[in-house]
Amino acid sequence: MSTIVVNRVTNANVLFDGKSMLGRAEEIDLPDVKFTTAEHKALGMQGKLELPTGIEKMEAQFRWNSFYPDVMSRIPNPYTFVSLQVRTSVETWDATGRTTQSARVVFLSGGFKEFSSGKYKPHDNAQFPSKMNVVYIKDVLDGRELYEIDVMANIYKVDGVDLMAQFRTNLGI
């Protein structure tokens, strides 16, 4: 008989340039990683296929639940990149209850490209959404690097394996 094992993540914290933003971010959308592909067709091939050619631009979105001068003094400058961490606890559950709690940390770096001066509703917290152009992301679960993408350095690692090492060597970088 197999036992169902479930992982759950129900909360997070943002660290902005190393400073905890606990309770300040209402919602975070981490980047979707999308691969660019090119169609390949040739004589003698039964069909067509798509092959990877790179990674689309990445974007993260934050919705701050109030006005925080230490955040808003950094977001409006598109010429300076910031470093962020999104920290979560991954809980594993089975038929006996919660069995483990693992630390997941997503590291981000990039520049903000959009911010709001505020969205206001009566008797509700004001919201201050912002969008970040992400040039670096690394996802780590309990010290294990799941993936790392550094657009500026041509680095793309999956489970610790550098998939772009030979590419960089071939280009002489």
**CB count, 10 Å around CB of 43?**
4
DSSP 169: H
Alpha carbon 37 to its chain centroid, in Å, reads: 21
The amino acid present at 154, given as its one-letter code, is: N
Upper half-sphere CA count for residue 96 (Cβ side, 13 Å): 3
Question: How many structural domains does the chain have?
Answer: 1
CA dihedral sign of residues 4, 5, 11, 16: negative
Render pLDDT for 37-55 as a digit per residue (tens, 0 to 9): 999 999 999 999 999 999 9
As a whole number of angstroms, the distance between CA 124 and CA 158 comes to 42
Determine, yes or no, domain membership for 84.
Answer: yes
**What DSSP assignment string belongs to 107-127?**
EEEEEEEEE-S-B--TTS--B
**95 occurs within a structural domain:** yes
Expressed as residue numbers, the domain containing 100 is 9-32+57-135
Whether 173 maps to a domain, the answer reads no
The tens digit of pLDDT for each residue in 10-37 reads 999 999 989 999 999 999 999 999 999 9
Average confidence (pLDDT) over 103-114:
97
pLDDT in tens, 60-87: 999 999 999 989 999 999 999 999 999 9
Question: Is residue 91 in some structural domain?
Answer: yes
Instruction: Write down the mean pLDDT value for the chain.
Output: 94
* Inside any domain, residue 150: no
